Amino acid sequence: MNKVFPNVAKAVEDIPDGASIAIAGFFTAGTPLPLIKALVEQGAKDLTIICMQMGPGNEDINQLVVNKQIKKAICNYPFYRSASRGANSPTEQAVRAGDIEMEVSPMGTFSERLRCGGAGIAAFYTPTGVGTVVEEGKEKRQFGDREYLLETALKPDYAFVYAYKGDRMGNLCCHKTARNYNPEMAAAAKITIAAVENIVEPGEIDGDMVHIPGVYVQRVVKVDRLRYIPTID
Amino acid sequence: MSVAKTKKFKGLSRELIALRIANELEDGTYVNLGIGIPTLVSDWIEGRDIVLQAELGMLNTGPLASQEEVEQDLINASCQPVTELPGSCYFSENESFAMIRGGYMDAAVLGALQVSEEGDLAGWQNPGRGLPEDIGNIGGSMDLAVGARKVIIAMMHVTNDGQYKIVKKCSYPLTARGVVDLIVTDLAFIEVTPKGLVLREVAPGLTAKDVQSVTEPKLIVSPDLIEMAF
């Protein structure tokens, strides 16, 4: 079994217009920037993007917005914290203009929707969001003495994930806080494309250290380790 | 919008609000700190037996990294480079929130835009920004507010232009209903109880009357009211 693709361009080549794509990463950590850049080059349109943020720590995603490749975004922390910085960002401007449809889930709900998507669960009840705007249009049900909202699974067509180490069978090992959304997004998507810093032979990753089992990963592509100073300012 | 029409009082600095909260945290507990004043609490608990959680997937988060220590794969939930401590561990963001909703955080210290007398919290969206009311940076706030066993609010007592932040009813979009246990501001230490807001401590030099004048709901003054001490 060999899932290795020769380069990022080949790895994203078949993504059609209208696809849904989960993009991992928590601000700067574990974000597969080379795959986002390849998607900009590739040019697919009417995309639904599922990711934590649309700009902060993930500036490259702005180019997808500027190119009008995104129809809808599902996020949990989409905008810059600073209102003035946000007002000047392409994403916030596109959302205000109605060019991008934005759906916001609480962070824990967001990742649980993905986990369920990869685990054969259609929906789940969570106490998060009860009594807030998040409950609008959702079933609310009491279990014991507490109310819960019914939230539905996310099953994206593709996922872009990032790993410190991976083998040609798709087993991945993440590094520290760069793991974040990567495992659940890899499992949720039909086709998961992993940008990997170090591609090694099967067996070189201790089986106990595999954070994302290869069954969830369809494509592996080598990328250079990014060098940046983590910041959202 | 209700406006506190009285003079501005000189109260605690942001750092001292954080210190008062640090002194309230118990040893042997797991704590999550939000963005803003809550983050400053970490400066006051070094050496204490308190484990900090970073919601992107880390327990026992260490102090902020120095220039030489910066590791791009090791950040906290505010995207600041941090360090490891002995016993630090990593997990997915999904597991992190399972931990939060599952009730494993003994306390969450969060910022707020408004807190009501019934303990409702509004902290994720300021309508002044002009976004639709269901769109904004919810982040981890709603999960932490409903999941943590104790919710402690760290904030300034009134807005920059003198409006109440402790209100009868929140006018901003809610983070969660009835979740706040303690409110620590530059002027006061207030406990949310079923009977109402109990004023337990005032900043040095202030009186209960001073604090009431910048608080919309009626405060119940504790018979044991004291000045905050550090």
Position B150 scores a pLDDT of 98
Domains, chain B: 14-125+133-225 (3.40.1080.10)
The closest of A223, A230, A177, A180 to A35, measured between CA atoms, is: A223
Distance from CA of A180 to the nearest CA of B (A): 4
What are A101-120's pLDDT values in tens digits? 999 999 999 999 999 999 99
Contact A51, A57 (CB under 8 A): no
pLDDT band of residue B3 (cuts 50, 70, 90) is low
Rg for chain B, CA atoms, rounded: 18
Kindly name the residue from B15, B24, B26, B55 that is annotated as catalytic: B55
What are the structural domains, with CATH classification, of chain A? 4-222 (3.40.1080.10)
Evaluate whether B202 touches B225 at the Cβ level (below 8 Å): yes
Q: What is the ipTM of this complex?
A: 0.96
Q: What are phi and psi of B171, to 5 degrees?
A: -100, -15
The yes-or-no answer on residue B133 being catalytic is no
pLDDT for A153: 98
Q: First vs last Cα of chain B: how many Å apart? A: 35
pLDDT digits (tens, 9 = 90+) for B78-104: 899 999 999 999 999 999 999 999 999
Inter-chain Cβ pairs, chain A and chain B, closer than 8 A: 165
Chain A environment of B57 (Cβ under 8 Å):
26, 177, 179-180
Confidence band of A232 (pLDDT split at 50, 70, 90): confident
pLDDT confidence of residue A57:
81
Mutate to test the interface with A, among B32, B55, B56 (most CBs of A within 10 A): B56
Residue type, A27: F
Are B198 and B222 in contact by the 8 Å Cβ rule? The answer is: yes
Enumerate the residues of chain A whose CB falls inside 8 A of the CB of residue B176: 130-132
- pTM for the model stands at 0.96
Report the SS3 class of residue B225. Answer: strand
Min Cα–Cα distance to chain A from B221, Å: 29
**Percentage of the residues of chain A whose pLDDT score is greater than 90:** 91
What digits encode the pLDDT tens for the residues B172-226? 999 999 999 999 999 999 999 999 999 999 999 999 999 999 999 999 999 999 9
- Who has greater pLDDT, A191 or A226? A191
Question: Which residues between 128 and 187 in chain B have a beta carbon less than 8 angstroms from any beta carbon of chain A?
Answer: 128-131, 133-143, 146-147, 173-177
Q: Would an 8 Å CB–CB cutoff place B18 in contact with chain A?
A: no
Set of chain A residues whose Cβ sits within 8 Å of the Cβ of B130? 96
Tokens standing for A62? 């702005």
Q: Among candidates A207, A199, A163, A208, which has minimal Cα distance to A181?
A: A163
Smallest CA–CA distance, residue A24 to chain B, in Å, is: 11
